[in-house]
A and B are shown apart, each in its own frame.
Chain A
Amino acid sequence: MDKGLSLQNVTIFNGDAPLIRVHHDVAPGAVLTVMGPSGVGKSTLLAFITGTLAKDFKATGEVWLDGHNITHAPPHQRRVGILFQDDLLFPHLSVGANLAFGLPPGGTSIQRQAKIDAALSEVGLEGFAPRDPATLSGGQKARVALMRMLLSDPSALLLDEPFSRLDAALRAQVRDMVFDRARARALPVLMVTHDAEDAHAAGGVVITLGHGDTVPKR
């Protein structure tokens, strides 16, 4: 597969014990959902793909993105975006500076500012650039975090329980927005969650760990 995210025989070991095994392709604009109770190692799969797997774990298999093998690339050169359940906006930067951090270098400062303003208005946050992120509501922070990630022009999007901190009304709204934006940019999306509603809303293939695809713990 040329375009999209491809996990080829990815197995993650905790010490010597196999934890999870995934072999799957995610096409551009498609969503793969990995479900399972907490503790089965869903997040270690994402850490392996971003290149930030902790020393305790070992992994075999390969990750390919848009035809490149990124298994051993440094984290910052993988073009893999990720969103966590916390917004993780940099608390020392304004909303605008957070977005500028994501925006790849290049262009005049006026052009860069224009891109940031456009990104903010795309999610209904016109004029928020000078704000302190700590003064935003939960839904606003989630939107800024999403746009910061998209501005960095990733080739794939990983979601690590991204909506579990939001209340029910906000949740559906933010979720739709994330999936819409990903589809519009033709990004392959890999989501891990323990929430069936999220999995259903994603509308793609669902792998459930703890059965079939996982290796029972010895």
Chain B
Amino acid sequence: MSRRYLLPVLPALTLLAMLGPVGAGLWGTFLPAFGHLPAAGLTGPSLDPFRDLFGWAGLPRAMMLSIGTGLLATVISLAIVMLVTAGWSGTRPFLMLERALSPLLAVPHAAAAFGLAFLIAPSGWLARLTSPGLTGWDRPPDLLIVQDSWGLAMTAGLIVKEVPFLLLITLAALGQADAQRSVRVAQALGYRRLTGWLKTVFPRVYAQIRPPIYVVLAYAMSVVDVAIILGPNTPPSLSVQIVKWMSHPDLAFRLEAAAGALLQLALVIGALVVWRIGETIVAALGRRWIASGARGKADAVVAGGALVAGTFSALAVLLGLVVLAIWSFAGFWSFPAALPDEMTLRNWLRFGPGTLKALGETAVIAVTAAMIALILTIGCLEAEYRHNIRVSQRAVWLLYLPLLVPQTAFLPGLQTLMLNIGADVGRWPVMLAHLVFVLPYVFLSLADPFRAWDTRMGVIAAALGASPDRVLWRVRLPMLLRPVLTALAVGLAVSVGQYLPTLLIGGGRVATLTTEAVALASGGDRRAIGVYGLMQTGAALVPFALALLIPAIVWRNRKGLRHG
């Protein structure tokens, strides 16, 4: 195919890469859920899988865990981010918190969850730091903190990871909401800062960040790796149970898994509907609050509380990484000593070779998926520019679709489908599965800076005789080097952190840092987890550092690009 015809088909190809696996996976879930699984010699339709599912004694509890942790994590992280922004945006404490939270976005969920577990467990670092002085414990108390049956530790693990995500999304939306002037007007009318922000800016910001909030809700309800590390075991959350059924040697359990996957999908859709109704109720209450003219009374307390919560959220991840690092170098470490009796390289020598092998696999998959995503994204955006295509709000929702359908709803189906058609599991299918999740994030990261480029540069370059391809390669992409590398880093980080697609589509044979680290959760070897968790975090963070460093070096003599 010649290049002239390639560009216009790229948007279609991109949509296919994102939505094809989701659609195929849902179809592959639907069939076995109604008893049709030729690979196991079963033909439907039948309702037995659902009968088995509803016969499982743990189901009500598993469903409640999914709904409860999902809604709670979303509400709390959203509240923290909104109130911190309302009370503090533009101030020094806010800037400091923003700087602390931004890099945490790249920390994989699993590493953050391990870090949190090592902090708050009865034998964790917090207990060690305060014992025996404050607590009087000279051995770990018999408390079920991590993996508590209410899923509170799991909820906390989700909150500390979603707060940085929502904060960055909110910061991006603030620029378009004319926030500063609105708050200044409100303050001139006698409103306190936080109340003024909530009444004037929040409605506009919320309308912009609504899709990512839905993503957070769908993700939190169906997360697997965080639930394995921090969530309860008896019973686990619905998504974890689905994965357990999927990995059962008896293929017949896949039917129950498929039925569970459809139930998980229904729960997420139901929760999104409930959330949507909640939005209208909050909006109605908010309008009454605005009409009342109340200037705000508890602003200082609420703002202070939000800042404390935001700080705790950042500290939980940062200290978690510190304690992972300590464990990775720890020799003998008795309770309640604050630090290990000896620091040693033995753990790294022992687990290092294994992590390097997993790092290689992780890197091959991540680089391939992220590069494909980047090429497709640039192709789409360039096609949009050259052919004057307008992107509607509805098309933007298509980008979020693969992130809204729970992973546990379509990935099991995709695996079953591949089993049925005799396709081989392994590295390539894993890359394509990663692409489903990498593509939306790369696109969302690059779209705004790409579209914000001064198109008069293109007019000038064309007037100088440069063809559209030359304008793209010689002018636009070099000028956009930093956002392009940042988008690539986002794609790498997303791929590095993927657990379920690697596990299910890889058929257990593709071992990345994330699957290896999560597999260590049940064993509880803190030194091994420390080594793997740090390597995983490094694999996600280093590309971001390079995305900052490379443009700074390449364009060190170009003042005009320093803030671009």
With contacts A91-B479, A92-B479 known, is A152 near B558, CB below 8 A?
no
Contacting B at CB under 8 A, from A82-140, are 82, 84, 86, 88-92, 101-102, 104, 132-135
Q: Tell whether A168 is near chain B: CB-to-CB under 8 Å.
A: no
**Cα A177 to Cα B454 with chains together (Å):** 27
Instruction: List A contacts of B388 (CB < 8 A).
Output: 54-55
Q: Determine if A80 and B558 form an interchain contact, defined as CB atoms under 8 angstroms apart.
A: no
Q: Tell whether A149 is near chain B: CB-to-CB under 8 Å.
A: yes
Q: Determine if A132 and B560 form an interchain contact, defined as CB atoms under 8 angstroms apart.
A: yes
From B454, B463, B468, give the contact of A152 (CB < 8 A). B463
Query: Quick one: closest A residue to B467, CB to CB?
Result: A76
Instruction: List A contacts of B550 (CB < 8 A).
Output: none
Contacting B at CB under 8 A, from A59-89, are 74-82, 84, 86, 88-89
Total chain B interface residues with beta-carbon distance under 8 A? 30
From A47, A86, A135, give the contact of B559 (CB < 8 A). A135
Query: Quick one: closest B residue to A79, CB to CB?
Result: B465
Instruction: List A contacts of B185 (CB < 8 A).
Output: none
Q: Determine if A134 and B459 form an interchain contact, defined as CB atoms under 8 angstroms apart.
A: no
Interface core residue of B466, B560, B564 (most chain A CB under 10 Å): B560
Q: Tell whether A154 is near chain B: CB-to-CB under 8 Å.
A: yes
**Cα A78 to Cα B459 with chains together (Å):** 12
Q: Determine if B463 and A88 form an interchain contact, defined as CB atoms under 8 angstroms apart.
A: no
Q: Determine if A132 and B559 form an interchain contact, defined as CB atoms under 8 angstroms apart.
A: yes
Instruction: List B contacts of A84 (CB < 8 A).
Output: 456, 460
From B456, B475, B561, give the contact of A86 (CB < 8 A). B456
Q: Tell whether A50 is near chain B: CB-to-CB under 8 Å.
A: yes
With contacts A54-B388, A88-B457 known, is A132 near B463, CB below 8 A?
no
Instruction: List A contacts of B478 (CB < 8 A).
Output: 92
Q: Tell whether B557 is near chain A: CB-to-CB under 8 Å.
A: yes
Instruction: List B contacts of A149 (CB < 8 A).
Output: 463-464
Q: Determine if A90 and B475 form an interchain contact, defined as CB atoms under 8 angstroms apart.
A: yes
Q: Tell whether A9 is near chain B: CB-to-CB under 8 Å.
A: no
Instruction: List B contacts of A148 (CB < 8 A).
Output: 464
Instruction: List A contacts of B560 (CB < 8 A).
Output: 89, 91-92, 132-134
Q: Tell whether B461 is near chain A: CB-to-CB under 8 Å.
A: yes
Interface core residue of A75, A102, A135 (most chain B CB under 10 Å): A75
Query: Quick one: closest A residue to B462, CB to CB?
Result: A75
Q: Tell whether B474 is near chain A: CB-to-CB under 8 Å.
A: yes
Instruction: List B contacts of A75 (CB < 8 A).
Output: 459, 462-463
Interface size class of A (residues with CB under 8 A): 20 to 34
Nearest-neighbour CB distance to chain A for B489, whole angstroms, equals 20
Mask, A36-65, CB within 8 Å of B = 1, is 000000000001001110110000000000
Q: Determine if B465 and A104 form an interchain contact, defined as CB atoms under 8 angstroms apart.
A: yes
Q: Determine if B463 and A134 form an interchain contact, defined as CB atoms under 8 angstroms apart.
A: no
Instruction: List A contacts of B564 (CB < 8 A).
Output: 91
Q: Determine if B459 and A82 form an interchain contact, defined as CB atoms under 8 angstroms apart.
A: yes
Contacting A at CB under 8 A, from B511-564, are 555, 557-561, 564
Instruction: List B contacts of A86 (CB < 8 A).
Output: 456
Instruction: List A contacts of B456 (CB < 8 A).
Output: 84, 86, 88
**Cα A133 to Cα B555 with chains together (Å):** 12
Interface core residue of B458, B465, B468, B559 (most chain A CB under 10 Å): B465
Q: Determine if A101 and B463 form an interchain contact, defined as CB atoms under 8 angstroms apart.
A: no
Query: Quick one: closest A residue to B454, CB to CB?
Result: A88
**Cα A47 to Cα B557 with chains together (Å):** 33
Q: Determine if B463 and A92 form an interchain contact, defined as CB atoms under 8 angstroms apart.
A: no
**Cα A1 to Cα B462 with chains together (Å):** 26
Q: Determine if B463 and A50 form an interchain contact, defined as CB atoms under 8 angstroms apart.
A: yes
Contacting B at CB under 8 A, from A141-161, are 148-149, 152, 154
**Cα A108 to Cα B297 with chains together (Å):** 75
Contacting A at CB under 8 A, from B452-498, are 454, 456-468, 470-471, 474-475, 478-479, 481
**Cα A179 to Cα B171 with chains together (Å):** 47
Contacting A at CB under 8 A, from B127-184, are none
Nearest-neighbour CB distance to chain A for B46, whole angstroms, equals 54
Instruction: List A contacts of B558 (CB < 8 A).
Output: 91-92, 132, 134
**Cα A76 to Cα B479 with chains together (Å):** 20
**Cα A52 to Cα B468 with chains together (Å):** 12
Instruction: List A contacts of B460 (CB < 8 A).
Output: 82, 84, 88
Query: Quick one: closest B residue to A84, CB to CB?
Result: B456
Nearest-neighbour CB distance to chain B for A152, whole angstroms, equals 4
Query: Quick one: closest A residue to B389, CB to CB?
Result: A55
Mask, B25-58, CB within 8 Å of A = 1, is 0000000000000000000000000000000000
**Cα A121 to Cα B346 with chains together (Å):** 67
Query: Quick one: closest A residue to B460, CB to CB?
Result: A88
Instruction: List B contacts of A54 (CB < 8 A).
Output: 388
**Cα A77 to Cα B471 with chains together (Å):** 13
Query: Quick one: closest B residue to A87, CB to CB?
Result: B460
17 A–B pairs (Cβ distance < 8 Å), ordered by A: A74-B462, A76-B461, A78-B463, A79-B465, A81-B464, A82-B460, A82-B463, A90-B461, A90-B475, A91-B558, A91-B560, A92-B475, A92-B558, A101-B461, A102-B465, A132-B560, A134-B559
The interface of chain B, by Cβ under 8 A from chain A, is 388, 390, 454, 456-468, 470-471, 474-475, 478-479, 481, 555, 557-561, 564
The interface of chain A, by Cβ under 8 A from chain B, is 47, 50-52, 54-55, 74-82, 84, 86, 88-92, 101-102, 104, 132-135, 148-149, 152, 154
List 9 A-B pairs, minimum CB-CB distance, nearest first: A91-B560, A134-B559, A134-B560, A75-B462, A55-B388, A152-B464, A76-B462, A102-B464, A92-B478
